[in-house]
Amino acid sequence: MSEISGNTTRADGTGTPSVATPGPLRADVAVVGAGLTGVVTALLLADGGADVVVLDAGSARTTTTARSTGKLSVLQGTKLARLDRHGSEVVGDYLAAGFAGLGWLRRALEDLNVAVDNRDDLTVATTPDQITDIDAVAAACAHHDLAAQWEEHPPYPAPTYGAVRLPGQAQVDPLHMLSALRSRLRSRGVAVHDRARLKQVRRFRSGVALRTTRGTVLAEHVVLATGVPPGRLGGLFLRLEANRSLLTTWEVPDPDALPTGFADTMSITAGSPVRSLRMAHGLLMVGGEGYAVGREPAPAGRLAALDEWTRAHLPVGPTRHTWAAQDYSSDTGLPLVGPAVPGDDRVLVATGYDKWGLTTGAAAGLALAGRILGEPVPWGRTLEPWARSPEPDARAAVTFGEQTVGWACATTRPTGQRAGARRVSRVCPHLGGVVRWNEQEESWDCPVHGSRFAPDGALLEGPATKGLARR
Ligand SMILES: Cc1cc2nc3c(=O)[nH]c(=O)nc-3n(C[C@H](O)[C@H](O)[C@H](O)COP(=O)(O)OP(=O)(O)OC[C@H]3O[C@@H](n4cnc5c(N)ncnc54)[C@H](O)[C@@H]3O)c2cc1C
Ligand code: FES
């Protein structure tokens, strides 16, 4: 792999191109992760005159952004009701962040000629016990002056107990959106280095030194827009849970057989089983059956359940694509956007979007760029990782239990091997969790903090910074 070296190009195009100069690459800000969060942050920093470099371990297609459902909404299922325990001011700030992110994306995508389809967003009760949840959503919306309506008979393909509808939200092809924003970044002269994995962050007095698989980068600030931060930095991985969800697109041979008005909405159920639906270009997208990474004994069974539900309720033909994607939820339920370590702006993070990181990821970009450029956003403090005390919850006990059970099994079966692949250690190089084979995605998944590995042990995603040892 070629080394990244030389200086970056300034937003006004006056810097030295990123080739030929020996020694580490230098920049004002290194943004690690070119999903939506990283790209928005880098664009805003470049617009503000900062010298920025972007690094990514993969490509646009492998981001969670590209593999999301593509809903741009501030309603976000029952999120507003679940955040209510933090108080009205916090919910107000979270909403302000969502509106800021959504507004920024709408303007940027219009400028880039990326189609954004307006849709009403529905949170639907499909069981009697979910009625309380949507009542709480409706109350939160009313309290914050959102134009949401309670609807007794929503346009939904399965039996319901009512829904909350918020007009004026949107949907987008997320890969198209990300590719267009990346192109805009490049046209501003910002170098985006793909296949450059961050291995280590070292802080020194005036900044940070980043060791990557393609060389060293020196910067005043680093923004870790990588989902969970790599390694152990700030201990934030202890406050996050990694969750995967399944998605399938279906052909709909007879769209007239869909409930009237269904195609003009996007929807998600208020509780389990989660079903997230939307139509685009004549295809139906169905998501759901989420599970904590590495803790699901039969992911293929979950996909079968999702398919069975879809066939039972919707007039679908064959499937087009099936995939899974991973996102992180935090102990407080709020995104974690700000310093990884309290009071230290050299290393900034953005994570914990709880599967709502399109609007919130854009908001995180606004918050982080504003912070670095000295123009903080009014709602930024609420999203900071250390704005409120970490909340110990039942997940810590589950994590400990997983590690104990894993080790008990590992003493009898310390290595794993799959057809055609090398024998690998089953011990996760992050912090020693014992990985479990995921037969549906053909990967080794760590139940402790959610790192995932290919059959041959190569690192796919998560906080680990190297693959499983090969035996
Ligand atoms: C199934 C599913 C559906 C979803 N649907 C929606 C939706 O409809 N609406 C919504 O608002 N949100 C949705 N989300 C959530 C949303 O997609 C994510 O929260 C958001 O895309 C996260 O963006 P990001 O930029 O932080 O991360 P990503 O898009 O994952 O980008 C992170 C980047 O960091 C890179 N990286 C990671 N580690 C390293 C390293 N060590 N070195 C270098 N690079 C690294 C990765 O290669 C990747 O490119 C969904 C999530 C899931 C799982
Ligand atoms: S991801 Fe932390 S121990 Fe595996």
What pLDDT, in 10s, does the model give residues 42-84?
999 999 999 999 999 999 999 999 999 999 999 999 999 999 9
Q: What is the pLDDT of residue 226?
A: 98
Give the number of domains in the chain: 2
- Whether residue 412 is contained in a domain is answered as yes
Last residue of a domain, one of 327, 362, 377: 327
Q: Which atom of ligand 1 is nearest to the CA of 328?
A: 19
233 CA to centre of ligand 1 in angstroms: 19
Q: d(Cα 195, Cα 58) in Å, to the nearest integer? A: 5
Q: Does 249 lie in the same domain as 157? A: yes
Tell me if 204 sits within 8 A of 195, measured CB to CB: no
Count CA within 13 A, CB hemisphere, residue 113: 1
What backbone phi and psi angles, to 5 degrees, belong to 202? -115, 130
Q: Which atom of ligand 1 is nearest to the CA of 358?
A: 11
Name the residue among 291, 249, 223 with its Cα closest to residue 67: 249
Q: Does 164 lie in the same domain as 253? A: yes
Q: d(Cα 460, Cα 443) in Å, to the nearest integer? A: 9
| Nearest residue by C-alpha to atom 19 in ligand 1 | 357
432 CA to centre of ligand 2 in angstroms: 6
Q: Which residue has the tokens 């990474």?
A: 293
Q: Which atom of ligand 2 is nearest to the CA of 462?
A: 1
Q: What is the pLDDT of residue 352?
A: 98
Q: What is the pLDDT of residue 19?
A: 34
- Whether residue 354 is contained in a domain is answered as no
CB 238 less than 6 A from any atom of ligand 2: no
Average confidence (pLDDT) over 187-194 = 94
Q: What is the pLDDT of residue 390?
A: 81
Ligand 1 pocket by C-beta < 6 Å: which residues?
32-38, 55-58, 62-65, 68-71, 197-198, 225-227, 230, 245, 247, 287, 325-327, 353, 355-359, 361
Q: What percent of the chain has pLDDT over 70?
A: 89
Confidence tier at 452 by pLDDT (50, 70, 90): very high
Which ligand has an atom closest to residue 217 CA?
1
Is the pLDDT at 374 greater than 60? The verdict is yes
135 CA to centre of ligand 1 in angstroms: 30
CATH number of the domain enclosing 399: 2.102.10.10
What does DSSP assign to residue 272?
Answer: S
- Whether residue 345 is contained in a domain is answered as no
Average confidence (pLDDT) over 328-337 = 97
Give per-residue pLDDT as tens, 420-448.
Answer: 566 899 999 999 999 999 999 999 999 99
Last residue of a domain, one of 270, 292, 327: 327
Task: Give the rounded distance of the alpha carbon of 159 from its chain centre.
Answer: 30
CB 431 less than 6 A from any atom of ligand 2: yes
Structure token pair of residue 113: 């000629």
Give per-residue pLDDT as tens, 219-246.
Answer: 999 999 999 999 998 899 999 999 999 9
Q: Does 260 lie in the same domain as 157? A: yes
Average confidence (pLDDT) over 272-295 = 96
Confidence tier at 24 by pLDDT (50, 70, 90): confident
Of 211, 226, 328, 460, the residue with max ligand 1 atoms within 8 A of its CB, to mutate for a pocket test, comes to 226
Region of 217 (left: φ > 0; alpha: ψ -120 to 50; beta: rest) is beta
Domain containing residue 426: 394-461
Is the pLDDT at 13 greater than 80? The verdict is no
Name the residue among 220, 199, 224 with its Cα closest to residue 210: 199
Following DSSP, what letter does each residue of 374-419 receive, concatenated?
T---TTHHHHSTTSS-----HHHHHHHHHHHHHHHHHTT--EE--T
Q: What is the pLDDT of residue 11?
A: 37
- Write out the E strands in 11-158: 25-32, 52-55, 71-72, 116-124, 149-151
Query: In DSSP terms, which residues pair with 328 in a beta bridge?
Result: 242
Average confidence (pLDDT) over 154-163 = 98
Q: What percent of the chain has pLDDT over 90?
A: 86
411 CA to centre of ligand 1 in angstroms: 35
CATH number of the domain enclosing 299: 3.30.9.10
Last residue of a domain, one of 284, 307, 327: 327
Tell me if 24 sits within 8 A of 6, measured CB to CB: no
- Whether residue 268 is contained in a domain is answered as yes
48 CA to centre of ligand 1 in angstroms: 24
Is the pLDDT at 3 greater than 70? The verdict is no
Lowest mean pLDDT among 17-21, 98-102, 183-187, 391-395: 17-21
Is the pLDDT at 402 greater than 70? The verdict is no
Q: d(Cα 224, Cα 79) in Å, to the nearest integer? A: 24
463 CA to centre of ligand 2 in angstroms: 7
Q: What is the pLDDT of residue 2?
A: 47
Q: Does 398 lie in the same domain as 320? A: no
Which ligand has an atom closest to residue 430 CA?
2
**Residue of 382 and 6 predicted with greater confidence:** 382
- Whether residue 406 is contained in a domain is answered as yes
Question: Is pTM, for the whole model, over 0.85?
Answer: yes
For 204-213, the CB contacts below 8 A with 24+ separation are 207/346, 208/30, 208/346, 208/347, 209/24, 210/30, 210/32, 210/55, 212/4, 212/55, 213/1, 213/57
Give per-residue pLDDT as tens, 339-361.
Answer: 999 999 999 999 999 999 999 99
